[in-house]
Amino acid sequence: MALDKVLAKKIGKDIGVSLFIYALPVVALFAYFAIKGQTPWVNNTHQPANVDVPAVFKFLEPALKNIRSWGFLVIALVLGAIEFALGLYDNKWTKSERKVDIVCFLAPKFLLPPVTAFFSLKLLPLILPGLANEFSWVPFWAGFFIIAVADDLTQYWYHRLHHQVPFLWRFHRTHHSAPYMGMAMASRQNFIYTVFFSQIYLTAALIYLGLGFPALVVTVIKSFITLSAHSSIAWDKPFYKYKALHPVAWVLERLISTPATHQSHHADTVGDGVGNYKGNFGNMFFLWDVIFKTGIITRKYPTTFGIKFYKQEEWYAQFLWPIFKSKVAGSELSANGPEVGDEVGPVLFDESDLYVSEQLKREAVA
């Protein structure tokens, strides 16, 4: 299935805009030092950065490091237990679905660290010799924005292309196969998709170059946002319910991923005016969907999730396709299965497609 020419042209145009966005934090950094008349990079000693960070982050540094390692395992398990206790999975968490969720949650914790460690400790010194801590002179605020933009915008593109390029869809399909929504979706991924997460290696390179602590802070904040956006606990509902909070909601839902905007991405239909699995690609920042017009905002939640052509494939096929293929006839993951079981290309939005629903527009006018 070839990539549509109109879509290819839009992707090319959006990538050009993205290159400009990537450059903005760097331009702001050099403009800041130009105004101050300083050139700290000239006498850079390449020593580990003595990071000038807000006191709250210094105070929380031990906790942040623990959260990034084992802390999120605890948080995810507690959140999952709450979702289960509240019955938010209904009766859809079958034995086969549990296998997929548990394997996808636990296995990468053991399989991925050796890969990333090899890249960080062995490959980076070969790829970027003599550049360790090259950016140690960068202040915390600049490092934070450089990492936040570089990491999340790269993941936006990685995610978007796996929906828009038919060949890539099956590597990401596992993330959308479950007929329910919940915390487990945050880690429910094909391992091949996970191990090639482009932003992992970009962020590792920036850490090697001296932006370690800003990367730590961004990672923790992003993990909280993405985990809560995947949760079936609709923590954003109060912002939509109470009129006094509507201005906050307007900013929040355009800046970061929320349960409403991200659940829309996991809906199994686009025909109800709420679901948008052909868009709403943002992970930490929903802002990318606003900029590239790939998102819709309805302040509503889908009633059904997953993919209509899901055949409940074996856990090993969902986790390790194409190394292991499904034995289910007609499945996208089977040996002779279709590349896509349905259209997965995006709707090409025009200016009017990024919207708050018609009802909310009427409320705004009123």
Q: Residue 120: how many CB atoms within 10 A of its CB? A: 16
DSSP code of 134? T
For residues 148-178, b (16+ Cβ closer than 10 Å) or e, as one string? bbbbbbbbbbbbbbbbbbbebbbbbbbbbbb
The pLDDT, as a whole number, for residue 360 is: 43
Q: Per the domain annotation, does 48 fall within a domain?
A: no
The pLDDT, as a whole number, for residue 342 is: 60
Q: Per the domain annotation, does 49 fall within a domain?
A: no
Helices (H), ranges, the chain: 5-36, 55-66, 72-85, 95-118, 124-127, 140-164, 166-172, 174-177, 191-195, 198-208, 212-230, 237-241, 246-255, 259-265, 287-292, 315-320, 358-365
**Rounded to an integer, what distance in angstroms lies between the CA atom of residue 116 and that of residue 9?**
34
The pLDDT, as a whole number, for residue 98 is: 87
Q: Residue 162 in contact with residue 193, Cβ under 8 Å?
A: yes
Least Cα distance to 88 among 180, 170, 6, 20 occurs for 180
The pLDDT, as a whole number, for residue 356 is: 43
Per-residue pLDDT tens for 345-363?
433 334 334 444 444 444 4
The pLDDT, as a whole number, for residue 121 is: 86
Q: Per the domain annotation, does 52 fall within a domain?
A: no
Entry pTM: 0.86
Which segments in the chain show pLDDT lower than 50? 343-366
Q: Per the domain annotation, does 50 fall within a domain?
A: no
Q: Per the domain annotation, does 317 fall within a domain?
A: yes
Report CA Rg, the chain.
21
Per-residue pLDDT tens for 102-153?
999 889 888 888 998 899 889 999 999 989 999 989 999 999 999 999 999 9
DSSP code of 1? -
Rounded to 5°, the CA angle 180-67-184 comes to 10
Q: How many domains does the chain have?
A: 1
**Rounded to an integer, what distance in angstroms lies between the CA atom of residue 111 and that of residue 96?**
22
Q: Per the domain annotation, does 34 fall within a domain?
A: yes
The pLDDT, as a whole number, for residue 223 is: 86
The pLDDT, as a whole number, for residue 6 is: 86
Residues contacting 285, CB < 8 A, separation 6+: 148, 152, 153, 156, 255, 256, 257
Q: Per the domain annotation, does 51 fall within a domain?
A: no
Show the domain range for 16.
Answer: 5-42+57-365
Residue type, 330: G
Rounded to 5°, the CA angle 210-208-53 comes to 30
**Rounded to an integer, what distance in angstroms lies between the CA atom of residue 264 and that of residue 254?**
14
